[in-house]
Structure 1
Amino acid sequence: MYFLGVDLGTSSVKLVLIDEIGAIIRTTSRDYPLSMPHSGWSEQDPAHWWVESKQGICDIFEGLDKSQLAGISFGGQMHGLVILDEADTVLRPAILWNDGRTMEETAYLNTIVGKDTLASLTANIAFAGFTAPKILWVKKHEPDLFAKISKIMLPKDYLAYKLTGVHCTDYSDAAGMLLLDVANKCWSEEMLDICGITEAQMPKLFESYDVVGTLLPDVAAELGLPETVKICAGAGDNAAAAVGTGTVENGACNLSVGTSGTVFIASDAFTLPDNNAIHAFAHATGGYHLMGCILSAASCNKWWMEDILKTSDFAKEQESFVPLGTNGVVFAPYLMGERTPHNDPQVRGAFLGLGMDTTRGQMTQAVMEGVAYAMRDSLEIAKSLGVDIQSTKICGGGAKSPIWKQIFANVLGIPVQSVETEEGPGLGGAMLAAVGCGVYPSVKAMAAEVVKVTDTTMPDMEIHALYNKGYAQFSTLYQAVKHIKA
């Protein structure tokens, strides 16, 4: 039997096909455009997701027996707003996770409604990227469209709907909407009222591994797949990536160093951070997790290399680094604003400590170190809650750089583990499909069987001590640059 994971990302959809023992049969990806019609805005047409996902399914099964496909599930970019009318027609381009237009709505939620109230209702406070502020923005700026809303969905759930005709979501993705009572796993009636919407407009809630339906006959015929293929709810990209890296046991940690950067810490029990500086979400395992997110991670390095230095030879640029822990240049990686712990979509990045003797290599190194420092911010908050983090997995584009893994190990002071298969949310989605189809009894059981650690980067504790000094300097940087706005 085959199981397909569909990772609906910001720039492309990536598909991963596995068999019943978790071995990867094939992968493929399809790109689609990102629209930024105004400064700070970020949108996509859901039709592009559907077209490219269908083509990806055709591509990945070329030459394979499609009748062996048993299940499909998803990992997907979180927080995006997809709105449908009563005919299930998309009303406007989806407003994505990294869209910063909702400053006024976010401020209203945090100050007028109040952070304490939000935390009591949803276990989180408002961030510009979350879905609820986007709904309020549409209500204020596009009232005609708001009046036509019949269903509110998240990006990956639009694909599930197109495959099954079912309006669904899972708890891990819904937790990032600021509409879910995370502790009790139900829609918050109070938050729906605040946003001027009803529960009838919301999708049905499922665990990530739950079967939500089977393929619609016309879709099955178009794709050449059996109508019996089971579609499972899937998970938000970070929860799906955590499944794919085996970050499922209580206290397990994963760093995802992609376009954005996340610190993901699994928990069997619900935990509410005192200061809401990091997120308290549901996990794809049926449990919960804490998560910190920086809006620019590997994208900082890509910007610096390709747009500023005009090079694609990333490895060569790293040959001129100074010894780790001795770089006097510090970088604030706030190129798209920042989420945790600062919740400031308008702040922008900066270099500190430049001198006439500063080298190109030092600035390149500072970019990579600045991302590691910013992700340590979230880890420190989790540790303040009593979470004992002994090691971390790592995935994403940044995980492919040995020197960056060493920087992370030394900045955090813990071992950084790479896994055998670095397919992140796509693999996690495929694993959720296998669990949903009954091949494994639980997500934890499958992760224990399938996910293998292949490499561990150990910290040098003497260098870690040097980085502690650098981190102390970095910790003052936000206050210095927070008035530099977009």
Structure 2
Amino acid sequence: MCRRKKVRKTAAYIGLDVGSSGCKAAVLDRDGNILIEKRREYGFEYPSKGRVELNPVTVWSCVKEVLTDIAQEKCDCEIRMIAVSSIGEAMVMVDENDKVLYNGIMYLDERGPETVRQVDEAVGVDEMHRITGLPPRMFYSLNRILWMQKNEPQILEKTAHYFLFEDYITYMLSGKRLVSQSTASKTWMMDVKKMEWSEKIGKIFRVPLERFSKIVQIGTIAGNIRTELAKETGLPETVQVIVGCHDQCAATLGSGCVAGGDVAAGEGSTESLNLVVNREKLTDDFWNLDVCLEPYIVPGTYMVPVGQHTHGTSLRWFANQFAKDLKGMQTPTKSVYDMLNEICAPDAGEVFFLPYLTRANLMDGANRSLGVFLGMEVGTTREILYRALLEGVSFETRLCLDILKSSNLPVERMVAAGGCSKSELLMQMKADVLGCDVAILKNADAGISALAMICAVADGVYSSYEEAAEQFIGITRKYCMREKLHDVYSVKYEKYKIIRETMKKLYAQI
């Protein structure tokens, strides 16, 4: 319920996050207070082995439901603007009547590994990295188009407009085809220095880039919401739609990371350690790293994300497969993850877990190994396996942090946000494994706060994102690294790296 004030209505903004497992929307006032919050869940579709898709029609239906729920709440505020963040890479293809032609192919989908070689032979992956800021991977939008050119050409022939989920929702809200620089950069087709679609890439791979949305700066005003949508949801027709950003970009801003050297740990289904980098810090040495470069919200800055695809996904998989009894005991105040934390073993011993529940490896495109529990014996229990799983995802986080440190880019501080940051057990473990303190945001849904900040800056309430962050961002807790446990985990981490490399070689042979 919203807070009622005996004053005239205050300006408020809707942050709408479209994720892989659900959408959530919240109304925040100009001071960053959450007044209303609504959400809907949906899930992936698995049409066949190795294929993972998200239905855009289902997503849009859920978006309309949460907006309708918000409109029905009575609140002493004036909703002025709405901004959207979303997953990256996955495309929405529509015909000339805006009918969706194909589900979004998700980052976990295993179609098209051969497209990386195709791109390398045509352009060279090093050159692609320098143009787009993206190292070679199989899950970018370009890869999906190349796969469809060979396997689903009839779909491409009917496609009038290509969207990513961010600009698809923005379009459905406003009727304007605009996409942020951060989300467009995830396609492998945007020139990351010029901030525009790469004509060279479009020409070489026969991609009609004119059918993609116009690339604009985050915070651009798209226009008012569609009249028919206002009537359907109950939102005022005066609500303006603001161009949002990629979800990891939003999570970074919502963590209060606005300066070079700030690191935001996005702890969701995926994990991303997002380092904010000033443009002048990008030397020639940077391009030798196998990492992404994404335009950031603050002009003149970029974001370098490293991470793992199946972070929170690993926890959800474990709960679904090994804790069905606990799921049936959930209450509004205690989730299955809370109960797993309570029964978690104090030590995993020599049991290790590799959190690779998909072959689409974010940090190592050559690593085709899959998830593994190693070191089990007759006395291994569910509780021990869960401990090993938490350690495994934490060791992967340390691998990511090591990559950032090897880049010689400044790393000043770390702030964590997202659903998994609510787990005290996991966050303390991460501080111990990483060897650094981890601060937790007061508002765990950092992306929602960031979207409201984008709106407030666009509305002229704040002159800069730095000023908005001072008002919006608060830290609720800090987990301090414990030296003795860090030493213990460092020994296990060295074993983990050996196991990881061994499994990588094994899967290359079988």
TM-score in terms of structure 2 length: 0.89
1:354 aligned onto 2:376: yes
Q: 1:184 to 1:462 in 2, by over 3 A?
A: farther
Per-residue deviation, residues 218-262 of structure 1 (Å, max 9, x unmatched): 222333333332211101111111122212221111112221111
Q: 1:345 to 1:192 in 2, by over 3 A?
A: farther
8 Å contact from structure 1 (residues 278, 378) kept in 2: no
Per-residue deviation, residues 26-77 of structure 1 (Å, max 9, x unmatched): 1110123421101221222212222211111110222325981110001101
Partner of 2:317: 303
Residue in structure 2 matching 1:239, options 249, 264, 268: 249
What is the rounded CA distance, in whole Å, between the counterparts of 1:125 and 1:15 in structure 2?
32
What is the rounded CA distance, in whole Å, between the counterparts of 1:230 and 1:70 in structure 2?
6
Partner of 1:363: 385
Per-residue deviation, residues 417-469 of structure 1 (Å, max 9, x unmatched): 11111113222222212222221122222112210111100001222122222
Partner of 2:291: 278
What is the rounded CA distance, in whole Å, between the counterparts of 1:359 and 1:31 in structure 2?
31
8 Å contact from structure 1 (residues 285, 443) kept in 2: yes
8 Å contact from structure 1 (residues 294, 338) kept in 2: no
Deviates more, 1:300-309 or 1:133-142: 300-309
Residue in structure 2 matching 1:74, options 72, 75, 84: 84
8 Å contact from structure 2 (residues 355, 393) kept in 1: yes
> What secondary structure is seen at the aligned counterpart in 2 of 1:38?
coil
Q: CA deviation at 1:101?
A: 1.0
What is the rounded CA distance, in whole Å, between the counterparts of 1:184 and 1:127 in structure 2?
22
Residue in structure 2 matching 1:172, options 162, 178, 182: 182
What is the rounded CA distance, in whole Å, between the counterparts of 1:79 and 1:345 in structure 2?
20
What is the rounded CA distance, in whole Å, between the counterparts of 2:290 and 2:54 in structure 1?
28
Per-residue deviation, residues 198-232 of structure 1 (Å, max 9, x unmatched): 33112111122121222222222333333332211
Q: CA deviation at 1:393?
A: 1.2
Matched ranges for 1:189-208 at <5 A: 189-208=199-218
Q: 1:427 to 1:341 in 2, by over 3 A?
A: same
> What secondary structure is seen at the aligned counterpart in 2 of 1:301?
helix
Q: CA deviation at 1:404?
A: 0.5
Residue in structure 2 matching 1:314, options 337, 361, 374: 337
- Runs (5+) with no aligned partner, structure 1: none
8 Å contact from structure 1 (residues 163, 219) kept in 2: yes
8 Å contact from structure 2 (residues 346, 387) kept in 1: no
Per-residue deviation, residues 61-95 of structure 1 (Å, max 9, x unmatched): 22325981110001101111111223333221222
8 Å contact from structure 2 (residues 15, 84) kept in 1: yes
8 Å contact from structure 1 (residues 337, 344) kept in 2: no
What is the rounded CA distance, in whole Å, between the counterparts of 2:85 and 2:473 in structure 1?
17
What is the rounded CA distance, in whole Å, between the counterparts of 2:412 and 2:71 in structure 1?
40
Q: 1:472 to 1:340 in 2, by over 3 A?
A: farther
Partner of 1:446: 468
What is the rounded CA distance, in whole Å, between the counterparts of 2:371 and 2:90 in structure 1?
24
Query: AA paired with 2:319?
Result: M
1:474 aligned onto 2:496: yes
1:134 aligned onto 2:147: no
Q: 1:96 to 1:360 in 2, by over 3 A?
A: closer
Partner of 2:446: 424
Matched ranges for 1:245-260 at <5 A: 245-260=255-270
> What secondary structure is seen at the aligned counterpart in 1 of 2:236?
coil
Residue in structure 1 matching 2:431, options 390, 409, 417: 409
Deviates more, 1:437-446 or 1:12-21: 437-446
Identity %: 26
1:209 aligned onto 2:231: no
1:117 aligned onto 2:117: no
Matched ranges for 1:329-344 at <5 A: 329-344=351-366
Q: 1:461 to 1:194 in 2, by over 3 A?
A: farther
Partner of 2:3: none
Q: CA deviation at 1:362?
A: 2.7
What is the rounded CA distance, in whole Å, between the counterparts of 1:169 and 1:66 in structure 2?
32
Q: CA deviation at 1:265?
A: 1.0
Deviates more, 1:336-345 or 1:33-42: 336-345
Partner of 1:290: 304
Residue in structure 2 matching 1:51, options 32, 57, 61: 61
> What secondary structure is seen at the aligned counterpart in 1 of 2:293?
strand
What is the rounded CA distance, in whole Å, between the counterparts of 2:489 and 2:503 in structure 1?
21
8 Å contact from structure 1 (residues 8, 14) kept in 2: yes
> What secondary structure is seen at the aligned counterpart in 2 of 1:59?
helix
Deviates more, 1:71-80 or 1:361-370: 361-370
What is the rounded CA distance, in whole Å, between the counterparts of 1:252 and 1:16 in structure 2?
26
Q: 1:110 to 1:208 in 2, by over 3 A?
A: same
Per-residue deviation, residues 89-111 of structure 1 (Å, max 9, x unmatched): 32212222332212121332245
Q: 1:445 to 1:344 in 2, by over 3 A?
A: farther
> What secondary structure is seen at the aligned counterpart in 1 of 2:83?
strand
Q: 1:316 to 1:81 in 2, by over 3 A?
A: closer
1:230 aligned onto 2:278: no
Q: 1:67 to 1:359 in 2, by over 3 A?
A: closer
Query: AA paired with 1:281?
Result: E
What is the rounded CA distance, in whole Å, between the counterparts of 1:132 and 1:457 in structure 2?
40
Q: CA deviation at 1:276?
A: 4.0
1:456 aligned onto 2:469: no
Per-residue deviation, residues 342-393 of structure 1 (Å, max 9, x unmatched): 1258421112233445444332111011111112222111111113334311
> What secondary structure is seen at the aligned counterpart in 1 of 2:84?
strand
